[in-house]
Structure 1
Amino acid sequence: MGSSKVNPPPETKESVWLRRSVILSFWLVAVLLGLPVWWKTTAIYRAELPLQTMTDWADGKVCKPVFPLRIAVEVPIPPSEAQHLIRTTQHALDDLNEFSAHHLRLMLADSPWVANTSQQIVSDGTTVDARHEEDIALLIRLIQVGTGNTPRSMLRAYSPTLDIYYAANQLPSPSSTGSPLATFMAQELHKLFDEEQALLAYLLSTKSKIPTAKVKSFSPETAAELERQSTIAFKYAPTYHLTFSLFTPTFIPSDWRIESALKQYISPFLDSFASISNFTIDTQVQLYSAYSPSIQKPVYDEDQKAWLLRKEDLSGFINAAEWPLSPSIGAGPTVNFVLYVPDQAETPLLVQGSGANSWLIPQWGGVVILNPSGTDKFGPVLTKQDLAPAMHTFSDQLMSLLGLPRAPASLPLRLSTLVRSRAASLLFSASSTLGALARLYNALPSIPIPDKVAKSVDLTTAHLQHACDNLRGGRFRTALEHARIAEAEAEKAFFERSMVGQVYFPDEHKVAVYLPLLGPIAVPLVMAALKELQSIIRALKARKNA
């Protein structure tokens, strides 16, 4: 007798509904509780950023920098005649100017614009405030003389003052629209600020998105020289660290009077530079410093009676493997100055071809080879007099590395030019960083944006606006301060740690993390739901056929 298949007893309605209730309860817990908790705990917080404002700053739509320079004129003639001279000179100066963003405005030195706190409306409708002496870019002192060639000028080296000597008959008459003195003054001012105009025009054309038609044109030679200077100079920093190092391949000299030399030759320049950046200094002495193995040894030249170092070996002269030169000390960039005293058997040591004993290393520092004069030899200690030539060279190298322009001859005017150019470059840099952050925000919606990034962006835009307003008002040192803060806050926002870490976290990593966790939970729930759905469909078909 064959065995017959025994079917299980039919489920009761209570057991079916109980099973379905259990499955439904699991799904309700997963959907109504699990998903919200997962969504909340894994959600990426993205603070709201003013993206349109940030893009407008990057595109140059918010601020078009202008540089109104106020020139005070001191002239020993009646006020009415002085005003006529000012107007005549101003017309001649405006005719020479080809760069509308950089304009010179003449005013009497004893006018309320200089003596009091009144305001002046310049040609573009901007209100400027000349209440501080530092807002006066240049003082012109007109001096009447009866002898010598006139008109003639003399620019003071350590004061923003231009002395102009003239004869009485060179003043403009009340009915004239020009005079030799007015023409001479306009030409002198144009020459005096011509390099500054080229520098600012170069910044506007390369760092900003202002149409080039509105920027002063300059020759390819000038552009190449400005490009060369920009590659040599360090990026602006509020603090620089200067390291002065003495290296010698022997044990002589073993000491140097560097403190007194720095105090006499370097400190005065650093003091004048204090309104732009701060400086820290350290020194070191390294004996038995061998040449870098990557260069050839100097070769003696009978014609020059000197040891010659090949030009192609200058870049490898620094023995980075053995010489203790730290690339960065502290928060700011380190500027290295190396004084190398060659072996007495290899003196004098010069550069082949040029015969120079010093060279610059762009954005790193400078090197000076100190040879004894004549047949003298250095003792165990380098005196301040021994160091004087090297200190003068280091001073010139430091000016180039900090981006100080070469003209005009007045140091205060060159420093003022540097203030204006640094303020403009920082403004452009911070604006560009804002634009990059806005593009990053739109391109990567999965990265978090914390509130401190939004706060830094707000601070950046606020200080950028202050910097722009102060530039328009001729308050360039204040503009530099605001631009410095704006650039720092923009960099802080862009390189926020929590954002940078998520930039390199692709979606594939998320799948690899969630699949082992959710797979064991999702498979039983899905299979149970499908099974119950099939049973419901079969029951409906059976009822329909019946």
Structure 2
Amino acid sequence: MTAKSGDSVSPSASAFTSDSSKSTKRVPPPESSESIQTRFRVIASFWAVIIFLGFPIWWKTTSIYRAHLPIQEMVDWADGKTCRPVYPLEIHVAAPSLQLTESQHLLRTTQHTLDDLNEFAAHHLRLKLANDTVAHTGDDKVDNLDNRPSDADAADIALTVRVLPEEGLVTPRSELQAHTTQLDVFYPPSQIPSPSTSNPPLSTFIAQELQRIYGEEKATIAHILSGESSALDSTSPELTESISRRLRRSMQYAETYHLSFSLFTPGSAPSSWDIEAAIQEYLAPLLHAFSPISNFTIDTQVQLYATFSPMTPAPVYDEAESAWTLKKEDLSAFINAAEWPLNPSIGSGPTLNFILYVPDPSQSPMIVKENRASSWIVPQWGGVFLLNPQLEKNQANPASLSQDSLQSAFKTFSHQLLTLLGTPSTPASLPLRLQTLVRIRAASLLLSASSTMGSLARLTESLPSIPIPANVASSVSITLSHLSAACSDLREGRFNAALASARIAENEAERSFFEKTMVGQAYFPDEHKVAVYLPLLGPIGVPLVVGLIKEVKRIVAAWKARRRAAV
């Protein structure tokens, strides 16, 4: 019997089909509850260690410490809202030849005239009688000096005015003592102010003299406080230009300056100089007078065979002057900085270089062509003096320079030092000029420290990733404290104390702003942190995150299954 092809199935084909269906439906055995719980505990333990141990340790070891800073107070100092500097100058008036009532009337009328002439309220003159009484502006009340504060709290006496009669005078005249803080005013005996006179000529004369003495100081302080070249309407353009030029040429204030005196000569002589005696005789008194403002250190050197730079134009002989001349525009290249051993800075403070150059006899005398000068100032650097010894024909330079031969040079160096330190050119009295310099430096330091505080506040707010160490907060606290003390001292007329406080404030402000740990972190952006962490955390984090996601999915699926079973 023949079988039909459609009705018969091969045994081997049937077995293969059965085995394939079984293999496609084969699934792994279900996990036991113990293995599920074990996997859950392993994953949970890893994440527990990360969250409760690893993350706090990482946070503690990588967090940036930022000490608290009084940001608003710092900004207020920078904006000038906390302190407006004032400069009340105490001037004593002594009139031994006048009666007490006449002296009081002279004082009041002079004070009223001064107040009318003054256009800069921050700088005003306060007159007081020196004969055991004190007069007050706009008030007839007179207090005894026995109630004055102690010397430590008393205001600095800026000037003493002695009013003296002199026969033969038609109008009053004044005489300012060059080496003291005393102004002598001589008046005709017929001009004794009477109580019935509202504006005696003597009062007007004294007020105008005081305005003239303190005119440059007032304009300079107004320029510093306002930052404008013409802060006062009454300031002449010539005075404004003089103040701007002086401020550009002067060195930045420092607590200590280093003075370097150098003797240069193109030959072998002079090879020595009596420098110590010259410094003691001509310079030491000036440095002593500067001691309330700055300190000084000194070094000296002698350099033989000091030739000009090849790029410097050679001196030209002038028949009319009978001298070798240097052009004014070539003076900037006179110093051979490449070969002359001139250190730009020695020690902690800035260096002022003073060069004494003795020309070769074949090029002597040597002067500046335009003004026939033998000296000039290099702004913010130092000064140069050309010493031309009196020589006979074909005579060599002396082997040594005596103290007397250095007199003219060191007198010039003294004037150059005053200019480089920012000392005003008026009045004629050096003590008054130094007092003015104290007030000018106090103003500049006060503004500089306040500006630094504002810059530090803006820096810390704009860069939240930089650390603020505790020493920075301490320096800021010291700065603000001394700024307040300086402002209070200025208001009370204690200018030396104000300068001392402002100097400390400036030093602490600079120390806090240029803290090296802050500067190092200022240039570490967040992109660098990502580049550091990804290679470390990537291989570890991916398995942990994937395992956590799978475990969450399993828990969600089991929860849904229980809900369906319950329904």
Q: TM-score range by the shorter chain?
A: over 0.9
Give the fraction of aligned pairs with identical amino acids, expressed as a percent: 57
Is the CA contact 1:250–1:289 (under 8 Å) kept in the aligned structure 2? yes
2:196 is matched with: 175
Post-superposition Cα deviations, 1:60-91, rounded to whole Å, max 9, x if no partner, equal 11111111111111112111111111111111
2:313 counterpart of 1:318: no
Residues 163 and 453 (structure 1 numbering): CA distance in 2 closer, same or farther, change over 3 Å? Answer: same
Contact 2:169 2:187 in 1 (8 A): no
Match of 2:8 in 1: none
Structure 1 position 354 matched with structure 2 position 371 = yes
Residue 147 of structure 2 corresponds to which residue in structure 1? Answer: 118
Q: CA deviation at 1:52?
A: 0.9
Q: Is the 8 A contact 2:90 2:155 kept in 1?
A: no
Partner of 1:67: 87
Larger Rg: 2
- Contact 1:66/1:101 (8 A) holds in 2: yes
The separation in 1 between residues aligned to 2:321 and 2:449, in whole angstroms, is 52
1:187 match: 208
Deviation at 1:387, TM superposition (A): 1.2
User: 1:343: which partner in 2?
Assistant: 360
Q: 1:87-98 residue pairs with structure 2 within 5 A?
A: 87-98=108-119
Give the AA of the match of 1:447. Answer: I
- For 2:46 and 2:151, the matched residues in 1 are separated by 76
Could you tell me which residue of structure 1 aligns to residue 246 of structure 2?
A: 229
Aligned with 2:273 (options 250, 256, 259): 256
What is residue 443 of structure 1 aligned with on the other side? Answer: 462
Q: Which residue of 2 aligns with 1:490?
A: 509
Aligned counterpart, 2:176 = 155
What count of residue pairs does the alignment treat as equivalent? Answer: 534
Alignment of 1:239-388 (within 5 A): 239-373=256-390, 375=392, 378-388=397-407
Partner of 1:465: 484
Residue 364 of structure 1 aligns with an amino acid whose one-letter code is W
Tell me the secondary structure at the aligned position of residue 356 of structure 1. Answer: coil
Matched, 1:511 2:530: yes
Hey, what's the Cα distance between the residues in 1 that align with 2:203 and 2:412? 40
Write the distance in 2 (CA, Å) between the matches of 1:168 and 1:331. Answer: 58
Q: Distance in 1 between matches of 2:235 and 2:167?
A: 40
C-alpha contact (below 8 Å) 1:113/1:131 kept by paired residues: no
Distance, in Å, in 1 between the alignment partners of 2:281 and 2:91 is 33
Asked whether 1:102 is paired with 2:131, we answer no
Q: Which SS does the other structure have where 1:403 is aligned? A: coil
The residue number in structure 1 matching 2:450 is 431
CA distance in 2, matches of 1:474, 1:310: 48
1:510-529 aligned at under 5 Å gives the runs 510-529=529-548
Q: Deviations over 1:298-321 (max 9, x none)?
A: 222333222222333222222222
Aligned-residue offset at 1:542: 6.5
Matched residue, 2:76: 56
Are residues 239 and 24 of structure 1, via their aligned partners in 2, closer, same or farther at CA, if it must alter by over 3 Å?
same
Tell me, yes or no, if the aligned pair for 1:117 and 1:131 is still in contact at 8 Å: no
Q: Does 1:79 align with 2:100?
A: yes
Alpha-carbon contact 1:116-1:131 (below 8 Å) kept:
no
Is residue 406 of structure 1 aligned with residue 425 of structure 2?
yes
The unaligned stretches of length 5 or more in structure 1 are 120-127
Assess if the C-alpha contact under 8 Å between 1:201 and 1:216 holds in 2: no
Instruction: State the 4+ residue runs in structure 1 displaced beyond 6 angstroms.
Output: 128-134, 541-546
Amino acid at match of 1:118: N
The CA deviation at 1:258 is: 1.0
2: CA distance, partners of 1:424 / 1:455:
24
Aligned to 2:3: none
Q: List alignment gaps of at least 5 residues for structure 2.
A: 1-15, 136-143
Amino acid in structure 1 at the alignment position of 2:468: I
Tell whether the 8 Å contact from 1:289 to 1:323 is kept in structure 2 after alignment. yes
Where 1:314 maps in the other structure, the secondary structure is helix
Provide, for residues 471-505 of structure 1, a one-character-per-residue CA deviation record: whole Å limited to 9, x for no partner.
Answer: 01111101111111111111111111111111111
Q: Which residue of 2 aligns with 1:124?
A: none
Show the counterpart of 1:454.
473
SS in 1 for 2:332: coil
Is this contact kept in 2: 1:89–1:183, CA < 8 A? yes
The answer as to 2:498 corresponding to 1:500 is no
Are 1:206 and 2:227 matched, yes or no? Answer: yes
- The one-letter code of the counterpart of 2:264 is F
Given that residues 256 and 296 in structure 2 are in contact (C-alpha distance below 8 angstroms), is that contact kept between their aligned partners in structure 1?
yes
Q: 2:325, 2:47 → 1: CA distance?
A: 86
Distance of 2:489 and 2:499 partners within structure 1: 9
How has the CA–CA distance of structure 1 residues 223 and 518 changed in structure 2, closer, same or farther, with 3 Å as cutoff?
Answer: farther
Contact 1:117–1:129 at 8 Å: present in 2 too?
Answer: no
Aligned amino acid, residue 277 of structure 1: S
| Paired amino acid for 2:123 | H
CA distance in 1, matches of 2:154, 2:266: 52
Between the aligned partners of 1:168 and 1:310, the Cα distance in structure 2 is 56
Aligned-residue offset at 1:541:
6.5
1:123 aligns to what? Answer: none
Counterparts of 2:457 and 2:125, CA distance in 1: 37
The answer for the alignment partner of 1:11 in structure 2 is 31
Q: Which amino acid aligns with 1:229?
A: R
The answer on whether the counterparts of 1:118 and 1:129 sit within 8 Å (CA) in structure 2 is: no
Question: Would the aligned equivalents of 1:117 and 1:130 in 2 still touch at CA under 8 Å?
Answer: no
